[in-house]
Amino acid sequence: MLSLSAIGLLLILILMAGLMISGALRPDLAALILVLGLSFSGLLSPQEAFSGFSRSAVIALIALFILTAGLNRTGVSRILGERLSRWAGDSPPRLVAGMTLLTALLSMTMNSVTAAAVTMPLAVQAARRIGLAPSRILIPIAYGALLGGMPTLFTTANLLLSGLVRESQGRSLTMLDFFVVGFFPALLGLLWVILVTWRNLPERFPAGQLMRLHRLNRELAEIYGLKDGLTELLIEPASPLSGVSLGESELASRYQLMVIGIRRGGRLILSPTRSETLQPGDVLLVAAGPPGEASLEEAARTLRLRPLPRPIAPEVLEAGEAGLMEILLSPHTTLIGRTLRELRFRERYGLQVLAIWREGRPIRAGLADERLRFGDALLVYGPWERIRILQGDPEFIVLQADGEPIRPSRRIPAIGIMLGVILASILTSRSVAEVTMAGAVLMILAGCLTMEEAYRAIEWPTVFMVAGLLPLSIAISRTGAAEGLGALLLHEIGGASPWIGIFVFAGISAVLTQVLSASVTAVVWGPIALRAAPVLGIPPHWMGVAVALATSAAFLTPMAHPANALVMGAGGYRPKDFLKAGLPLWVLTVGAITLSTVWFGRWLPH
């Protein structure tokens, strides 16, 4: 029977989960509200409620962000990707296998979302070279990032479960623990993705198909619905636009007409600024909204603009100084939930957003007030110089792997430091926080990145979310919620073999992670599983490893993991694509985790 305090805590958890799933609150804000609720309700003391910010898991997480940035700044990931691309040649199976394995390898040493973000532009570029649809390679990359995070301590959920086992058993789970048990299910899952999953994915050429056969602007225009939306409008002498700046014209805000060029006196002004003054006789090259949305005829009639009869092909955008490019919101972005108008995107970046690709379709109307979502692909137009600058902006991923790494001369030190961190995590008794933070400091001292870059590399929303969730494990144990919920399950499976117990608890963990984040699942379900383990005759460290590994089985929905959401827009996927591709892999992975835990768990130290 659950106590009143346990019931109250569960109600708080259900409310918090609902707010996070619905998107009504950001996860980091929800976690901070949870901290305050636990403190004000008296379930935890203020010191306990805010203790998450001093936990070793949080320190290790911060250090891993810095280590990841050091590898990226020195171009380690890009070099590996380029060599794999050359090895793959013109073979789609080899390219899919190479990029999936590369993502998994990177995910063992860095954040899973970052691993997918690093590999994705390289994969898209290589896919377009051989004519492979990006939809056939991007889900394998996302799944590779998830599977690669299993046999390592450097995954957020694994770090959290390691800390929970330390609190209950006095010994943390180590890198070796996760590798011994996690290698088999990770390898089996990767083989399934490489041999089966990618072949059954739909073939689509959406946002990620860049410059295929050297026809970037033509194809992008067709993909985003601009093929029939390019029009030339002549400003007549009596037009109220004469002498008005482009920003004051309301062409975009009121009539959904994006001015991407101005013909004036025999020359073409591409990507004009908002301060450009319009003159009689100017010919505006505009991208009109979709039929039935904003009226091109109304704008022409009201503003005295005369449509020119000659057809405008997308190739007109292929001028040498400007062009079209697709960008994605990066895992580190702070722009989620904000509109282009609020961001003053055109003034800030010197680029125009012509369309947004979301959930398999282009959005061309009302762009200024469309709130950005993670996974959106933006079709932008402007000077190549501005686009190249955007490649260094941490808010975006430009789906073209051009340019040189910032500090290639520091590549060897970066690799050496990361290998040292991994070996120290396996061979020494030092805590993961000590080892990873030492590696992060060495990255900075070795010149792989600056201190300012290190601060920018830290995903503070993730840090605050994890720090806010960690005290929840104390409350779950103190209120008796862990024992109560564990008893309910034990009533159903009591007396069953360890195989059944591990399968049930790992399976529930893998289900919860589809709707909650892996971090929330680890903190909420971990204490319950650890309390139930001795009753089932299962060593708690076996149970901790199994539950942690199962949180990586986030294959079924695009929102189950940020890596899935990241590739959704670029691959033109729909939610059902993830369910169809991920369900067999999910079943295979949960089964493999159960077998591996029982088979190899006996090799783990008690």
Q: Give the chain's length.
A: 606
**Backbone angle region of 303, left / alpha / beta, with phi > 0 → left and psi within -120 to 50 → alpha:** alpha
Helices 460-469, 27-40: inter-axial angle, 10-degree rounding: 30
CB contact set of 546 (below 8 Å; sequence gap of 6+): 181, 502, 505, 506, 509, 593, 594, 597
Output the CA torsion 114→116→120→123 (10° steps): 130
Does position 229 have pLDDT exceeding 90, yes or no? Answer: no
Q: Give me the sign of the Cα torsion angle 117, 122, 123, 125.
A: positive
Q: What is the mean pLDDT of residues 349-354?
A: 81
Using the 8-state DSSP alphabet, how is residue 289 labeled?
A: -
**Tens of pLDDT, residues 317-349:** 555 566 777 788 877 778 888 888 888 887 788
Task: Looking at 428-470, list the stretches that DSSP marks H as alpha helix, in order from N- to C-terminal side.
Answer: 432-445, 451-457, 460-469
Tell which wins on pLDDT, 197 or 298.
197
Residue 378, beta-bridge partner list: 327, 356
Residue 396, beta-bridge partner list: 329
Q: What is the mean pLDDT of residues 304-314?
A: 68
- By C-alpha distance, which of 99, 85, 82 is closest to 130? 85
Q: Residue 100 belongs to what H/E stretch?
A: helix 92-107
Task: Give the pLDDT of residue 140.
Answer: 96
Alpha carbon of residue 33 to chain centroid: 24
Using the 8-state DSSP alphabet, how is residue 202 labeled?
A: -
What percentage of the chain reaches a pLDDT higher than 90?
Answer: 18
Structural domains of the chain ordered from first start = 7-205+413-603 (no CATH), 226-316 (3.30.70.1450), 322-398 (3.30.70.1450)
276 burial type by CB count under 10 A (0-12 exposed, 13-18 middle, 19+ buried): middle
**Tens of pLDDT, residues 541-550:** 999 999 999 9
CA–CA distance from 280 to each of 256, 304, 576 (Å)? 21, 10, 52
Per the listing, tokens 């959406």 go with 206
Task: Give the pLDDT of residue 289.
Answer: 60
**Tens of pLDDT, residues 509-541:** 999 898 777 888 888 888 888 888 888 888 999
Name the most confidently modeled range: 22-31, 353-362, 579-588. Answer: 579-588
With H, G, I as helix, E, B as strand and everything else as coil, classify residue 530.
Answer: helix
Question: Are 197 and 135 spatial neighbours (Cβ–Cβ below 8 Å)?
Answer: no
- By C-alpha distance, which of 174, 172, 162, 51 is closest to 474? 51
**Tens of pLDDT, residues 79-108:** 777 787 788 878 899 999 999 999 999 888
One-letter amino acid for residue 75 of the chain: G
Q: How confident is the model at residue 383 (pLDDT cuts 50, 70, 90)?
A: confident
